Amino acid sequence: MDRRRFLKLSSAAGVAGLTLPSIPSVLAKPSLNSQQPALPIPELIDTAKGQTQLTIQSGTSQFLKNKTTPTCGINGAFLGPVLKMRSGKSADIKVTNQLNTAMTIHWHGLEIPGDLDGGPHQLIQPNQSWEVTLPIRQPAATSWFHPHQHPTTAEYVVKGIAGMILIEDELSRSLNLPSEWGADQIPLIIQDRRFKDNGEFDYELLDIVNVAMGYAGNQVLINGVIYPQAEVNSGWVRFHLLNGSNARTYRLTASDEREFYVVASDAGLLDKPVKMTQLDMAAGERYDILVSTHNNQPFDWVTLPVKQMGMMHAPFNQPYPLVSVQTNGKKGKGELPTTMAVLPALTPSQATVKRDVVLGMPEELDRQAMQVMMARQPKMSGMAKRMDMMNAHSKSIPNQLEVAGFNT
């Protein structure tokens, strides 16, 4: 969601955006179990320090007790590192494919030329490498990387090939945001999964429900672990949120209904923090939020039920705990800023062309096949445009559209 739309919606709809159910008291006071797994914190790689090596590989992981799951990952068995990139600099990356099938790595959210984007046209064959230099010329933001080969993108995201990207710029570094990695700057990659009895991921490419509605799991992994526990500093804690699920929308809230502040959306920092108690995140969306742990009281991040076709089965018909948070006894130094980015002004009167686009099924945009759509729509560069999109599906089938390189 772009920053202006986020601010407009949050202002128009109030703090929560909608009239939403309250959390049952059973979740208001989470019980911290000493046997609860710790939240894994991915390695943070600074791409400014030289060429970054990324290896796509297979492995095994244990998500369920006494069961092993075949997985894929980047520089490990499941998921990948977090890449820190700096606006105004370039990131040199070498991606090596150790799988026995061709892969790609797509830089989701980066404003880069198409020949660097890692789309289906840039296959990395087995035992081959792809070296790329990414020019980072955009504001600070949270993005991510994942496979994008046709037609197995979704399958290999489920298997574990994904990672987060954090772009920094001079503004983000000047704000004194929480920045102690793993203590008050925490990445949360949220993904749902379904398992077979033997522990393998249950992913059937041709399942009619998956084709129509998108893959839906019955468990949620946070950084690759079911219901982990995070230990954080006392003070302001910054969570980088990524909905890395294939289709599921989450409605994030704190179990004690404490307020939190959204400081950035997919496109970068907002002009000022926005106070929330609930936040909807569609598949692929990213947000940065700050929450206060000054009172040292533990809480859970929870997802509330979302009316989404094919996604309302148990356990998601009730509040579902994602991750426990407790303080570690250390005081953090980060602050909640009062003002942040200066956003360029755009007004409807600037739009010289208006286009209406209708989303439909199957493989349709504007009620036409994608190839026809691309041929019909002329180039859109060099002018202000207004694009109105209508979802022709039921309201319980949300649609997300990645629009790259636009000043929205």
- 379 half-sphere exposure, CB direction, 13 A CA radius: 2
The SS3 call for residue 402 is coil
Residues 142, 95 contacting (CB under 8 angstroms):
no
* For range 125-141, the mean pLDDT: 98
Confidence of residue 179 (pLDDT cuts 50, 70, 90): very high
Mean pLDDT of the region 53-61? 99
Give the confidence band of 16 by pLDDT, cuts at 50, 70, 90. Answer: very low
Give the chain's mean pLDDT: 85
Residue 377 has pLDDT above 60, yes or no: no
- Give how far Cα 296 sits from Cα of 36, 132, 219, 233, 325, Å: 19, 45, 28, 9, 10
Domain 3-35+177-331: which CATH number of 1.10.1240.10, 1.20.120.1200, 1.10.150.20, 2.60.40.420 = 2.60.40.420
Q: Which amino acid is at 75?
A: N
Which listed CATH number (3.40.50.10190, 3.30.565.10, 2.60.40.420, 1.25.40.10) goes with 44-174?
A: 2.60.40.420
Closest CA to 337 of 266, 276, 271: 271
Res. 23: pLDDT tops 60: no
Which residues, other chains included, contact 14 with Cβ-Cβ below 8 Å and sequence gap of 6+? none
Q: Which of 240, 252, 336 is nearest to 294 (CA)?
A: 336
Distance CA(101)–CA(141), nearest Å, equals 32
**Residue 167 reports pLDDT greater than 50:** yes
pLDDT tier at 180, thresholds 50, 70, 90: very high
What confidence tens digit (pLDDT) does each residue in 141-161 have? 999 999 999 999 999 999 999
Which stretch of DSSP H or E encloses residue 172?
helix 170-174
Q: Would you say the C-alpha torsion 20, 21, 25, 29 has a positive or negative sign? A: negative
Question: What pTM did the predictor assign?
Answer: 0.84
The domains spanning 3-35+177-331 and 44-174 adopt the same CATH topology: yes
Would you state the pLDDT for residue 355?
74
Q: How far apart are CA 82 and CA 166, in angstroms?
A: 7
Quickly list DSSP for 367-381: TEEHHHHHHHSPP-T
pLDDT > 70 fraction of the chain, expressed in percent and rounded:
77
pLDDT at 28: 44
The domains of the chain are located at: 3-35+177-331, 44-174, 348-391
Residue type, 99: L
